[in-house]
Amino acid sequence: MVDAVSGTKRQRRLAEDEYEFPANILRMALLSHWDVSGERNLALDSFDLDDANCFSGARSPLFANLAAMARFEGSTDYCPSTSELDTFELQLYLSFPPSQDSQRINLDPCAAAAETHAARAFYYASLVHFQRTIRKTPPDAVRSLVNIGLQELEAIQTATGGAAGVMVLWPALVLGAEASTHDLKARVRIWFQAKEVFGIRNVHVIHDLIKDLWARRAHDSSLAWQHLIVEERYDVFRL
């Protein structure tokens, strides 16, 4: 028999749900490259995004960095100075995520390893995103970062024996889009093919977008994944 839930416990659970819903909406908005208003940016200070319901290893510093990059990229009345960008870049590089086994002792070793590699995939993808979107560096300049980021995605496969399912797609999208060599592209294809067997439509769509971007860049090197994802056939959550 299921124990009755007391009124106090029920109220606490409702309060937690009310907290978690806007926090998750904020996460989704940042990962989906939505226009985040000033009020939503301020919400980063009021939500503890380091809670147990993290997005596949992505935690508060990652979302704060994405919010800052969204402001740099999307503002029409504010242009960050070189000094501001240099300071932010240093902060970004210093935000290397800790091992999850030191953060969440309730995880089994396999899950802890998977979350650690996922968090690092987010980290390297955020560095690539900054260099390509904010600094406007060419794809070849981020080749080493893409390589290391892909290693983290591949390490999840190794740690879980391929049974990890589909994580949040934002790192795979960013890293895959900036794969600029035959070897890197082959590894991106292998990763997506391994995930497509789980039958999640978004995985197929993002994979198709990346392959389309590679093909189009042969004629227009200035194209970015942000240009393609607004097209109706590619308009999916990066989740």
Amino acid identity, residue 83? S
Residue with tokens 């390893």: 113
Note the pLDDT of residue 47.
46
User: What's the burial of 147, exposed, middle or buried (CB within 10 Å: 0-12/13-18/19+)?
Assistant: middle
Asked if 136 and 88 touch (Cβ cutoff 8 Å), the reply is: no
* Interval 180-207: pLDDT, tens: 999 999 999 999 999 999 888 889 999 9
* Interval 16-47: pLDDT, tens: 444 455 666 667 667 766 665 554 444 554 44
